[in-house]
Amino acid sequence: MNTQAANKRIRLIMDLRTKGITSTEVLSAIERVPREEFVPEQAQDQAWEDMALPIGLGQTISQPFVVAIMTQGLELKSSDKVLEIGTGCGYQCAVLSHLCRRVYTIERHKYLLEAAEKRLNDLKIRNFTAIAADGMKGWPVINRISQAPFDKIIVTAAARVKPPQALFDQLAVGGIMVIPVGEPGAQVLKRYKKESEDAFAVRDIISVRFVPLLPDVSEQAL
């Protein structure tokens, strides 16, 4: 990383602090993950700016503040098993990987998934498992093995009315899910804590703007 990029990284971390990111663990993870590796070549000079950037197929890499506040809302522990819905370019997964035991991440766009896996592997991030699947159905049973329940769930696309029931079902009692909910233009980032099998404590975090949460697996390529 050159001096200019290093200075931008320092400024970003300071900016996140002033915006209310108080977790030193989250700030450290964001500082450690080279965001320039997850953005298109033409956007390299903006990699350490606090802004969302396009990554293709109508998807974006979220702005660092949104990544930070979603991650902070999870209250991650090093022993946690985390489910991520919406791998995208792999940036959020990379941040999570520094804070938990393992990330299970689902992406509906196979092209994005393959590119994200390559980036994560190139960065020698090993504590993740990624698949192309319908994230609205949660993590599938594979070879008769179920990974649920998950200690934490993070969703990087917006549910229109409420989170899918399958995700509630796969969240452990005592676990936390952070997910944007609402119609375009009226989305709110929400934090659900599972108090029992049928009771949740819900808290609004901030207003956000995400692509919609969609079913099925897309075969679309760039």
pLDDT in tens, 16-46: 999 999 999 999 999 999 999 999 888 889 9
Q: Give domain 51-208's CATH number out of 3.40.50.150, 3.20.20.100, 1.10.8.640, 3.20.19.10.
A: 3.40.50.150
Q: Which residues are catalytic?
A: 62
Instruction: Tell me what pLDDT residue 221 has.
Output: 52
Q: Give the pTM.
A: 0.95
Instruction: Tell me what pLDDT residue 189 has.
Output: 98
- Residues with pLDDT less than 50, the chain: 222
CA dihedral 128, 89, 52, 175 (to 10 degrees): -30
- According to DSSP, the residues that pair with 203 across neighbouring strands are 191
Instruction: Tell me what pLDDT residue 1 has.
Output: 64
Q: And the tokens for 219?
A: 């075969």
Instruction: Tell me what pLDDT residue 220 has.
Output: 64
C-alpha distance from residue 16 to each of 186, 188, 192 (Å): 24, 20, 23
**For residue 59, what are the contacts with CB-CB under 8 A and spacing of at least 6?**
88, 89, 109, 112, 211
Give the C-alpha separation, 165 to 137, whole Å: 8
Give the C-alpha separation, 181 to 161, whole Å: 6
**For residue 146, what are the contacts with CB-CB under 8 A and spacing of at least 6?**
139
CA dihedral 72, 78, 83, 84 (to 10 degrees): 50
